[in-house]
Amino acid sequence: MKFRLSYRKKILLYFSVVIALFTAGIILFEQKQIRHERTKSLENILNDNADFIHRYMEGQNIVFPDSTLMSYLPDNLRLTIIDKTGTVVYDNFLDKKMMANHIDRPEIQKAIVLGNGSNIRMSDSNHIRYLYYAKSYDGGYFIRVALPYEMEVRAFLNSKNSFIYFIILFFIVCAVMMFYFADKFSKSIKELKEFAVNLKNERPTKTAFEFPDDEIGEISAEIVENYNLLKENRKKLALEREKLIQHFQFSEEGIAIFSEERKKIYANSHFLQFLNVIADKPVLEDEYLFSDPDFEEIVAFLDSTGRTGNVFSTRIEKSGKKFNVRVIIFEDKNFEIYISDITKAEKRRLLKQEMTNNIAHELRTPVTSIRGYLETILSLDPKDIGRQQAFINRAYVQTIRLSELIQDISMLTKIEEAADRFVKEPVYIKALLDELESDLTKIFHEKNIIFNVDVADSVVIYGNRTLLYSIFRNLVENSIAYAGESIEIMLQCYMETDDAVYFEFHDNGAGVEEKHLVKIFERFYRVNEGRTRDTGGSGLGLSIVKNAVLFHKGNIVAKNRPGGGLLFLITFPKTSPC
């Protein structure tokens, strides 16, 4: 495990080293100064000794120092007399014969030039470190005196230890103060460290922190507060991001977000599905679209540098489907590509457009007729009551046709666009058909039509009673209108299972040509336009039947009977036994 110091210990260590170095520097500087001053002082003493020896020797008229002279000098003072050639003529410690020529000694060289000179070095003769001092005199010789340097200086320094004690005391006081301030300073760091460690290990953090009342404490408190705000904003951002992703996932459109380098950031499942429908080969990567020819307009828009907007859309038709493709470029140069399958929407749009045109066409006939009849009535002689009444009757017939047409259109629109308004309930089919027979009894008698019903009283369908009544009535009215008079209409429940009820409806009329069977459920489709105009049908009856059956999750097919007439097979799912 790697050894690590705490922040507090680091502060103590670093500042202790700095103060120790500073203290040592002061001591060394002071020692150097003292050593320099002591050396000067010793040089002055040695100079006085040399002058004293010179005066004594001149006064006594002697060439070499005698015992009396030496008694006046310090015991550790070394005295050497050297002639102008550098030859040692006297030394009180060593035999002059054993000593080398001293002309090249530094202190002698200085004395030759300056008259006196000093040097600190190890003696080649007795290996003692001396402070040498040499002085030139008129008698043609040099007097060199020396004292052991280390001994003299050490004695002087020992007498100045009070300064060292003061420095040590200063260091101790600084260390104590540093310990106090480091402890106070590191308290905020310690709190922040605990806070960071808890965050890293996903442990609960404290709700309140005790920071010192100083700048570091204020900064620490601001950091914690800013983190709490960031944490709250992160939660909100994560929630919004989750909402957005769920929206993308459950969206029926293909949505993908790409980086500026065209790398996928996110894509829902529909995006790859639509991409595979558009592409000419199986696609596993969403980035394939940038190389697909069908998306060349999108790629060109992304590559363009002079575009005026950041949104572009186009349409792609492939494999019998139509797609709307839109790209949105964001400020950070990332972009979103949106693919929407508009096949059904386009079909609905075309159907609505066709229906609108058909409605306008169908309404035009009765409205034009009513207008013509009314204009004719207005132009007649007021006394011509007979002709007025005839045109009024004709106008009334057209208003009935117009009313039925509007009612059928309303019913069809409600089934397609407001199916939730139809309430479902158990409906007994036999009772419903008895009501239908009662409502149409007069027409049956007028056209000599036999209406047979073979449905058990227990047959029940879970559905909307109004729509179920409309299914069977429109089928009957279709037979009345197109099968002719003196026909027989049959409606029976020919089979039922645990899951469904099966009905057969047929008449024994002329039937229709095979080419019309696949279209008879279309809006306003007529097998014989002229005949339909005569019968007054709206062309929406069988379309209402088809949509009402689909509303009940059922199925209906039409075909000609082998014996003549038109036959419808209807299947309804049931939720309870018949």
The yes-or-no verdict on residue 69 having pLDDT over 80 is yes
Residue 287's DSSP bridge partners are none
pLDDT at 568: 92
The yes-or-no verdict on residue 570 having pLDDT over 90 is yes
The yes-or-no verdict on residue 268 having pLDDT over 90 is no
Task: Return d(Cα 36, Cα 479) in angstroms, integer.
Answer: 138
pLDDT at 472: 92
Q: DSSP assignment, residue 108? A: H
Question: What's the farthest any 2 CA atoms get from each other in the chain?
Answer: 191
Q: Which amino acid is at 325?
A: V
Cβ contacts of 557 within 8 Å, gap of 6 or more:
568, 569
Tokens (6 digits) for 10? 């680091």
Q: Which of 13-22, 56-65, 75-84 has the lowest mean pLDDT?
A: 13-22
The yes-or-no verdict on residue 444 having pLDDT over 70 is yes
Q: Report the b/e string of 419-450 with b at 16+ CB within 10 A.
A: eeebeeeebbbbebbeebbeebeeeeeeeebe
Q: Which amino acid is at 302?
A: L
Q: Kindly report the backbone phi and psi dihedral angles of residue 74, in degrees, each rounded to the nearest multiple of 5, phi listed first.
A: -60, 150
Q: Angle 541-551/465-482 helices, nearest 10 degrees?
A: 150
User: What's the alpha-carbon Rg for the chain, to the nearest Å?
Assistant: 61
- Name the pTM for this structure: 0.42
Q: Compute the C-alpha angle 349/351/354, nearest 5°.
A: 110
Q: Angle 343-379/385-417 helices, nearest 10 degrees?
A: 170
Using alpha carbons, list the distances in angstroms from residue 63 to 53, 59, 85, 88, 111: 11, 11, 17, 13, 20
Highest mean pLDDT among 103-112, 208-217, 280-289, 386-395: 103-112
Task: Report the pLDDT averaged over residues 313-329.
Answer: 87
The yes-or-no verdict on residue 189 having pLDDT over 80 is no
The length of the chain, given as a count of residues: 578
Query: Cα–chain-centroid distance for residue 349?
Result: 38
Taking the CA atoms of 56, 59, 65 and 71 in sequence, report the sign of the dihedral they define. Answer: negative
Using alpha carbons, list the distances in angstroms from residue 521 to 353, 557, 558: 18, 9, 9
What band does 359 get if pLDDT is binned at 50, 70 and 90? low
- What pLDDT digit, counting tens, does each position of 134-181 carry? 999 987 899 999 988 775 555 554 555 566 677 777 778 777 777 776
Task: Return d(Cα 233, Cα 335) in angstroms, integer.
Answer: 24
> How many CA atoms lie less than 13 Å away from 208 in the CB half-sphere?
1
By three-state DSSP, how is residue 326 classified?
Answer: strand
Cα–Cα nearest to 408, from 474, 480, 323: 474
Torsion of CA 58, 60, 62, 66, to 10 degrees: -120
- Between strands 335-341 and 254-258, the pairing is antiparallel
> To which residue do tokens 């101790």 refer?
172
pLDDT at 453: 92
Q: Which of 105-109, 212-216, 336-340 has the lowest mean pLDDT?
A: 212-216
Q: Kindly report the backbone phi and psi dihedral angles of residue 493, in degrees, each rounded to the nearest multiple of 5, phi listed first.
A: -95, 100
Between residues 5 and 499, which one has the greater pLDDT?
Answer: 499
Contact (CB, 8 A) for 491 and 449 = no
- What pLDDT digit, counting tens, does each position of 478-522 carry? 888 888 788 999 999 999 888 899 999 999 887 887 777 777 877
pLDDT at 531: 44
Q: Compute the C-alpha angle 289/291/297, nearest 5°.
A: 75
Between residues 540 and 182, which one has the greater pLDDT?
Answer: 540
Q: Which amino acid is at 362?
A: E
Residue 257's DSSP bridge partners are 266, 336
Contact (CB, 8 A) for 326 and 337 = yes
Q: Mean pLDDT for the chain?
A: 80
Task: Report the pLDDT averaged over residues 554-560.
Answer: 90
Q: Which amino acid is at 144?
A: R
What band does 6 get if pLDDT is binned at 50, 70 and 90? low
pLDDT at 576: 47
Task: Return d(Cα 477, Cα 486) in angstroms, integer.
Answer: 14
Task: Return d(Cα 167, Cα 164) in angstroms, integer.
Answer: 5
> To which residue do tokens 């949104």 refer?
311
pLDDT at 188: 65
Tokens (6 digits) for 542? 């069988």
Strand stretches in 319-449, DSSP E: 321-329, 335-341, 425-428
H helices within 448-513, ranges in order? 465-482
Task: Report the pLDDT averaged over residues 91-112.
Answer: 88
Strand stretches in 84-187, DSSP E: 88-91, 116-122, 129-137, 141-148
pLDDT at 14: 72
